Structures are given as C-alpha cells and as structure tokens.
Amino acid sequence: MSGFPILSLMLLVPLVGAVACLLANREAARMIALVATLVDLVLGAVLWSRYQIGGPQWQFQEHASVFAGFEWKLGIDGIALLLIALTVFLMPVCIGASWNAIEKRAGEYYANFLVMETLMIGVFSAQDLFLFYIMFEAGLIPMYLIIGIWGGADRIYASYKFFLYTLLGSVLMLIAMMWMVNEAGTSDIPTLMAYNFPVHAQTWLWLAFFASFAVKMPMWPTHTWLPDAHVQAPTAGSVILAGVLLKMGGYGFIRFSLPMFPEASAQFAPLIYGLSMAAVVITSLIALVQHDMKKLIAYSSVAHMGIVTVGLFAFNRQGLEGSMLIMLSHGLVAGALFLAVGVIYDRLHTREIDRYGGLAINMPAYALFFMLFTMASVGLPGTSGFVGEFLSLMGVYAQSSWVALVCTTGIILGAAYMLYLYRRVVFGVQKHADTAAMPDLDKREWAMMIPLAAAVLWMGIFPETFLAPMRKDIAALDARLAQARPKGDADLRLAAIPPASATHEHGDAMEHGSKAEHEGAR
C-alpha cells in the first residue's frame, strides 16, 4: 500500500468544507459543498482503482495512537470499499438536489451534509471498535438538525423520533462493546472478528448489537421512525438517509454481528427471518395504500431491507453477496426515487400522489428516468435490483424454502405498489392544469439523473464490477460462519439414513433406528 493516508484525507476534505460553509453565504456555500464532495468522489475513485482485488484483506491501513482508550485506526476491505464508493457517489447528487431547493440557512445546511459525509466514511473505514461507535453515533447530530431545520410540517416530531430511537438502540451496543474489549483485550476490529467469544455471552452481545442495528436498518417493528423522518426530511436528506444511513445497519450486521458472534447469529436466525418476513409482507402492504410518494418509497425501503437481513442470515455466499448488492442497489435506486420525487416536489410543492398524473405527456424525459428507477426497484432483470434480490433469495432458499417463499411475495407486492405509483403519477390523464404545465428536467436534474441511471444499469448488466472487490471478504466471512451454520431444510443429508440392509444384518432395528434419529437431529 502507498503510505499516503488517503482515508484520513477523505475524512478531512468534507470537514474542512463544512467549516468553510458555516462562514460562507448561500452561493459560496453550495459551491464549496459541491467542490468538496467532488474532491471526495475523485479520491474515492482513486481509492477503488488502487484497491488490490484479491490482495490483503485490509488495505489502506492507517494507525495513529493519539487518544487514550481507543485509537485512530482506519482501513478498508472490499465491503467497506463498496459502501464508501456509494457514499461519495451519492453526496454530489445530494448537493445537486439541494442546489435551488434550500434557501434558508444554506451555509449550515451544507455544513451538516459535509459533516455527515465525513462520519459515514468514518463508519465504513474505522478499524477500532470505539472509533466506529463514535462515528456511528455522531451521525445523529447532523441528521437531527437536517430533519429538524429543513424538514416539512411535522419535522420536530420526526426529528425527536429519529434521535431518541437510534440513541436508545445504540447505547446498549456501547456497553456490549466495552465488555468485548474487556474480554478480548483489544478494540481492533480485525482481531475481534476472529476472536471466539464464549457462546453464552454471545447471546447477550448479539442482542445488544441487534438493538442498535435493527433500529438503524430499520427492521420491523422498529422501523416507524423511518417513514416520519423521510417524509419530513428535505429531498437530499431523504437521499442520504435511504442511500447510506440505512446501510450502516446492514454493514453493522456484516461486520460485527455475523463474524464476531457466529453462534449467536445462528441461534437468532429464526428471529431475523420472522421479523424480516413480517417486514417484507406488512410494509409492502402498507406501501400499497400510501397517498404520499415519499412515504411509499420509505415503506418500500423497509421491505427491501427485510430481504437484505434474510440474505445476511442465510449463512451462505449467495445470501451475503446478494445482500451486499441489494444494499448498493437500494442505495442508488431509493436515492434516485427520492430524487425523482424531489424533482416534481420542487415544481408543485406537494407529495400527494393524487395531485399528479399524466406527467408522461409534459415531462417525457422525467417519465423515462422514473420508469427506469421504478423497474430497478421492482427488480427487473437488467437493472441493479434484480441481481441482488435474486442472489439473496437464492441464498435463503438454500436455508429455508418457506422463508424464501414469503420473501418472494415481497417482489410481487413491490411490483404492485411501484407500478401502481408509476401509473398514478406518470400515466393517465392530466387532471390538474398546474401539473400539466410543469416543465421537463432541466440541465441540473439531467446531470443528477444520468450518473444514477448509468450506475443502475451497470450494476444490472455487469455486476461483476461490484462483486469482485468483495468476493474474497465474503468468502472469508462465509468460512467463519461455516462452523455455526444452522441446518437448513434444503440439507437432505442422505448419508445419515442407514441403508436398509445394514439393519437386517444385525437384526437390532431399534438401536439403529434411534441412532439414525440421533444423527438426523444433529
């Protein structure tokens, strides 16, 4: 690796930009924010290009012990690389989405977003448990302010709910982390990932981490903060919330819960399946009856995250890779959908589905992009949504065909609510004169849509680009989980049934029968 601290630089650039934004006026602030996020995007591209696929597991490592109790330790593997890439890719889009929409207190607004970017990259690149926690938790403050200051009518309730829910979720994780560090004698994440915690302790540790990640993810039934936060957040806030913040929960599962507590993960897999199935079916049905576009997409996010969690706890490669891909794809697609909602919200200042209709006539380009992202959300082959959901469900099928069956209904329901949304907004007759008069995409909106659309198609047509960096890390995780993998209903274990002739030879069927039963149960 080059000794150049590129990760620290990626953390520093937005932070410096944030301070500069605080002191600047609106025009200057948005320009500073755009430049800072673009610089980070370039750095992210450099990071990806210098990342050695198949090289050492942890790359770009940095280490400076400047604090007591924890250390400044950064480093990434393929999983973190992809999520960092997603973050730096979405951030300029967010700034673009806010370009004209944010009029009041723009300096503070962009400063908050840049601080968010720093913290998100920090979460994905931290290699010290407590450094991770600090970055993870610190994200509450800017997000609280973004929802509370620039959100819609019910913003204060939404911001409280977001803050307190996630705080309660994560404080217990902190206690668990302290216990782990105390037990293992180090807060180094790679070491902890290989440490075997006592099985009885794993149960409690897993639950504490689960409390945090389940809220962040969010899993049913702790998801209720998400629709409120989404509806009330400004467009860019929703994009970053759906695009990156929700991925922190999934990242937490894949980085902490699974490798650190494999036995407990196996033990709690049925719980995860149950909650995820509930999430997929219930929130999809809820999405079907929404009148508010953002709320609909928010509920669809919860449903997609349900498929992510079953995939993660499928204990096999397809499931894990599929879940990672859904997270990336959902980051792009949900971000793009919120952006699409934002485009028409900026024109009409309402998110009521009934106020729209017939947009295909006066906004053909918009209709095209919206169609692409809708299809990607549904999981049409050729778009990013398909690859991940297919892999993930295949992984679950190997573990439990019933879970796979229930989760697959989520795809059908997803098609139902997304296509229904699309039909009501884009097709049909132009009921309202003001809706019919809306102009098509302008240059700025084109510039935001094109990269998202390209990425969605790229991921759908050639997912190898995204699979390659994480393949080795997923394989390592899969190997780590192999010892604890629960027996799935697809494991036929033919060898366990003794041949009939053997029973005859000894003439003692009773004893062998019980032995076979014993083996079968193992």
Partner 1 sequence: MELLRSLAITGTEEVLSISGLILLLAAAWGGDKASRVISIAAVAVLTVCAVLTAPALCGAAMGPAVSAWGGQFSGDAFAAFGKLLVYAGAAVTLIVAPAFFERSGAMRAEFPLLVLFAAMGMGMMVSATDMLSLYIGLELNSLAAYVLAAFLRSDERSAEAGLKYFVLGSLASGILLYGISLIYGFTGSTSFAGIHAALAEPLSMGVTFGVVFVLAGLAFKISAAPFHMWTPDVYEGAPTPVTTFFATAPKVAALGLLMRVSLFAFGAQPGVWQQIVIFVALLSIVIGALGAIGQDNIKRLLAYSSINNVGFMLIGLACTNQAGAAAMLVYLAIYVAMSVAGFVAVLMLKDADGAQVESIAAMAGLSKTRPGLALALAMVMFSLAGIPPLFGFWGKFVVFQAAVQANLLSLAAIGIAASVIGAFYYIKVVKVMYFDEAVDVVQGQSDLAQRVLLFVSVVAISPLGYLLTKQLGVLAGHAAAALFHIA
Cβ closer to partner 1: 147 or 226?
147
Q: What is the 3-state secondary structure (H, E, C) of 108-157?
A: HHHHHHHHHHHHHHHHHHECEHHHHHHHHHHCHHHHHHHHHHHCCCCHHH
- Binding segment toward partner 1, per CB under 8 A, in 67-75, 270-278, 284-292, 394-402: 67-75
Of 51, 109, 124, 133, the one binding partner 1 (CB under 8 A) is 133
Residues 67 and 419 sit within 8 Å (Cβ to Cβ): no
Shortest approach of partner 1 to residue 128 CB, angstroms? Answer: 13
Question: Residue 442: which residues within 8 A CB-CB, separation 6 or more?
Answer: none
24 contributes a contact to partner 1 by CB under 8 A: no
Cβ closer to partner 1: 132 or 386?
132
Strand, helix or coil for residue 232: helix
Element (H, E) at 266: helix 262-278
Strand, helix or coil for residue 44: helix
121 contributes a contact to partner 1 by CB under 8 A: no
Buried b / exposed e over 64-90, threshold 16 CB at 10 Å, is eeeeeebbebbbbbbbbbbbbbbbbbb
Of 16, 28, 171, 415, the one binding partner 1 (CB under 8 A) is 171
Cβ closer to partner 1: 159 or 399?
159
Shortest approach of partner 1 to residue 147 CB, angstroms? Answer: 9
Distance CA 390, CA 70 (A): 40
- Binding segment toward partner 1, per CB under 8 A, in 82-90, 171-179, 224-232, 268-276: 171-179
28 contributes a contact to partner 1 by CB under 8 A: no
Cβ closer to partner 1: 175 or 289?
175
Cβ closer to partner 1: 140 or 415?
140
- Binding segment toward partner 1, per CB under 8 A, in 94-102, 175-183, 240-248, 369-377: 175-183
Distance CA 217, CA 259 (A): 18
Distance CA 246, CA 309 (A): 12
174 contributes a contact to partner 1 by CB under 8 A: yes
Shortest approach of partner 1 to residue 70 CB, angstroms? Answer: 9
State the binding string over 181-220 for partner 1 (x if CB under 8 A, else -): -x--------------------------------------
Cβ closer to partner 1: 166 or 284?
166
Of 24, 83, 134, 248, the one binding partner 1 (CB under 8 A) is 134
Structure tokens at 233: 């957040």
Of 67, 402, 446, 462, the one binding partner 1 (CB under 8 A) is 67
Distance CA 519, CA 79 (A): 37
371 contributes a contact to partner 1 by CB under 8 A: no
Shortest approach of partner 1 to residue 219 CB, angstroms? Answer: 19
105 contributes a contact to partner 1 by CB under 8 A: yes
Task: Give the total of residues touching partner 1 (CB under 8 A).
Answer: 33
Element (H, E) at 385: helix 384-399
Shortest approach of partner 1 to residue 195 CB, angstroms? Answer: 17
Distance CA 512, CA 259 (A): 38
Of 35, 167, 380, 419, the one binding partner 1 (CB under 8 A) is 167
Strand, helix or coil for residue 306: helix
Cβ closer to partner 1: 154 or 442?
154
Cβ closer to partner 1: 144 or 417?
144
State the binding string over 137-156 for partner 1 (x if CB under 8 A, else -): xx-xx--xx--xx-----xx
Cβ closer to partner 1: 51 or 150?
150
Distance CA 385, CA 354 (A): 27
Of 2, 54, 68, 506, the one binding partner 1 (CB under 8 A) is 68
340 contributes a contact to partner 1 by CB under 8 A: no
12 contributes a contact to partner 1 by CB under 8 A: no
DSSP tally for the chain: helices H, then strands E: 26, 2
Task: Return left, alpha or beta for 25; rule: phi > 0 is left, psi -120 to 50 is alpha, else beta.
Answer: beta
Strand, helix or coil for residue 254: helix
Strand, helix or coil for residue 60: strand
SS3 content of the chain, % helix, strand, coil (to 5): 75, 5, 20
Distance CA 490, CA 501 (A): 26
In the complex, the residues that contact partner 1 under the rule CB under 8 A are 66-69, 105, 108, 130, 133-135, 137-138, 140-141, 144-145, 148-149, 155-156, 159-160, 163-164, 167-168, 171-172, 174-175, 178-179, 182
